[in-house]
Structure 1
Amino acid sequence: MLDYRLLEALGAVIETGGFARAANKLHLTQSAISQRIRQLEFLLGQPVLLRSTPPVATPMGRRLNNHLQQVRQLEMDIEQVAQNEPLQIRLTVNADSMATWLAPALASCELSARMAFELVVEDQEVGLDRMRNGEVMACICSEARAVNGGAVRALGVLRYRALASPEFVARYQTRERPEHLVEAPCLVFNRDDQLQHRFLASQGLPAPRRQHHCPSSEGFVKMALAGMGYGMLPELQVEPEYRAGTLVEVWPEASLDVPLYWHYWQTESSAMKALRQAVTTHAHQVLVQPD
């Protein structure tokens, strides 16, 4: 039988990205963390971490961390009865969900007052990697296929439009000459963000050649309003600006729908089930629902 203190050390290194930070998280010395990892590897007869910067879990390390996440799910129900400590909930979410619909969804869970959320922000197209590596208890992303040991529920569609300031559209004449979008400055959230590329591809155009990287949903909107570039923006986030005409479409009636899914472990605690149901109910009310 595995010693769960060893698994907790492994999980802390993976979650925090380093031995020193894992030691701080578990209130241990860095030497104690290293010793527990070595002991785990000795018991298994194989490495669980690649000693890179940051450390990377091996396939066995990912399997063990997945197992640890599912055990934590089951422990939640016991902790609810045994103590009054807040429930630590670690979720992977995309920034645009945080900036638009997610906060009321989390708050709508009747148990949210007893939860302590740690939200890990990742692009909706890559966020499931955190779940696959066993780093989080649930994940909101655009991938429909569940990870091993997990399940998935559809939330709805976040609709994006390619928007910019009226002055930007006039300057680059994007409505008359959509091919100008390839050379015009384009706003991109980060290097994982492919929405703008997908939009251009849907119009038969190559990838944008000039990009501004802005890893902030609010900053993204401000840069578009200032005429710095065009970008794919969620309708939910910019409805007032769109209605007022301070943000306009660079190409008429062109939108991009991104489906969102809630991923969770099959060994789901009652608290996580309540959270999933609350988030799903709220999402179905505010997100576009496919026919």
Structure 2
Amino acid sequence: MLDYRLLEALSAVIETGGFEKAAQKLHLTQSAVSQRIRQLEHRLGQPVVLRRSPPVATALGRRLNNHLQQVKQLELGLLDEEQGEPIKIRLTVNADSMATWLPQAIAACPLSTQMDFDLVVEDQEVGLDRMRNGEVMACICAEAQPVNGGAVSSLGVLRYRALASPAFVERYRTQSEPKRLVDAPCLIFNRDDRLQHQFLEALGLPPPVRQHRVPSSEGFVEMALHGMGYGMLPELQVADYLASGQLVDVGPVFILDVPLYWHFWQTESAPLTALRRTVLDHASRLLQG
């Protein structure tokens, strides 16, 4: 029989990335958290966390954390919605969805005022790792294959264009000589962001030489507007700038449709089902089909 106090300690260490932060989250001492992890490992006969900086869950540790997340889903389904306690919802989302269509979709859920959201921002290509490791209740990402114990629903596609300011295009002459894009400053969200690389690859060009790393959707747009670089931007986010001519195609018109999916556990609770259905409904109207 699993001791869920011990699993909560494991989950906190994985989620926060350290024993000290896990102790703060659980309102325990660091030694108490360490003791619970050791107790769990003693009962199971093998390690659940590799003592690194930050700690890394073993394969068993990830399975246990995954199991705990599904148990939490079942517990949510047993809660009385009228009891007045907020429902804690932890989701992995991509930054561009947060900057465009997702807040409106979440707010439309009838239960949203009863929910406390913890939104973990990850690139759409890698966000599913959080769910695979049992760290979140649901995930929006570009991966169509569900995790073990999970299911998936298609949301639609977020359309991207390779854009920059007119001054940038004129300075680097990227429309008349696309090969100059390789040496021109390129905007990337983080090290997992490969959209710009896909753009250059589609033009038969090597990866960008110069890169500005801008881990903010709003900052990404501002950097492009002020001529600091070019990048793949969601049409939904920059429609007004395209209409006004403040942003233009940096080279040949290039459209990249990134599919988005909502991943959820098969043990999905009623509140999460309501949220998912509302988000899917709004995505069908706000995203490309």
Report the TM-score when normalising by structure 2: 0.98
Q: Which residue is 1:20 aligned to?
A: 20
Whole-Å separation in 2 of the counterparts to 1:87 and 1:80: 10
Query: Where do residues 277-288 of structure 1 align in structure 2 (5 Å cutoff)?
Result: 277-288=277-288
Q: Is the 8 A contact 2:162 2:253 kept in 1?
A: no
Q: Which residue is 1:172 aligned to?
A: 172
Deviations 1:231-256 (A, max 9, x none): 00000100111100000001232111
Query: Where do residues 241-280 of structure 1 align in structure 2 (5 Å cutoff)?
Result: 241-280=241-280
Whole-Å separation in 1 of the counterparts to 2:43 and 2:145: 33
Is 1:74 the counterpart of 2:74? The answer is: yes
Whole-Å separation in 1 of the counterparts to 2:105 and 2:51: 39
Whole-Å separation in 2 of the counterparts to 1:225 and 1:203: 23
Amino acid at match of 1:24: Q
Deviations 1:42-95 (A, max 9, x none): 010000000111111000000000000000001012223583210110000000
Whole-Å separation in 2 of the counterparts to 1:141 and 1:81: 29
Q: Which residue is 1:147 aligned to?
A: 147
**Structure 1 runs not aligned, ≥5 long:** none
**Structure 2 runs not aligned, ≥5 long:** none
Q: SS at 1:152's partner residue?
A: strand
Deviations 1:87-141 (A, max 9, x none): 1100000000000000011111111000000000100001011001100000000
Q: Which residue is 2:98 aligned to?
A: 98
Q: SS at 1:208's partner residue?
A: coil
Query: Where do residues 202-221 of structure 1 align in structure 2 (5 Å cutoff)?
Result: 202-221=202-221
Q: SS at 1:262's partner residue?
A: strand
Q: Does the C-alpha gap of structure 1 residues 134 and 166 become closer, same or farther in structure 2, counting only changes over 3 Å? A: same
Deviation at 1:288, TM superposition (A): 0.3
Whole-Å separation in 2 of the counterparts to 1:250 and 1:81: 51
Q: Which residue is 1:61 aligned to?
A: 61
Whole-Å separation in 2 of the counterparts to 1:90 and 1:80: 19
Whole-Å separation in 2 of the counterparts to 1:98 and 1:80: 29
Whole-Å separation in 1 of the counterparts to 2:85 and 2:25: 17
Moved over 4 A (4+): none
Identity of aligned residues (%): 71
Q: Is the 8 A contact 2:178 2:252 kept in 1?
A: no
Amino acid at match of 1:175: Q
Q: Which residue is 2:188 aligned to?
A: 188
Q: Which residue is 1:159 aligned to?
A: 159
Is 1:6 the counterpart of 2:6? The answer is: yes
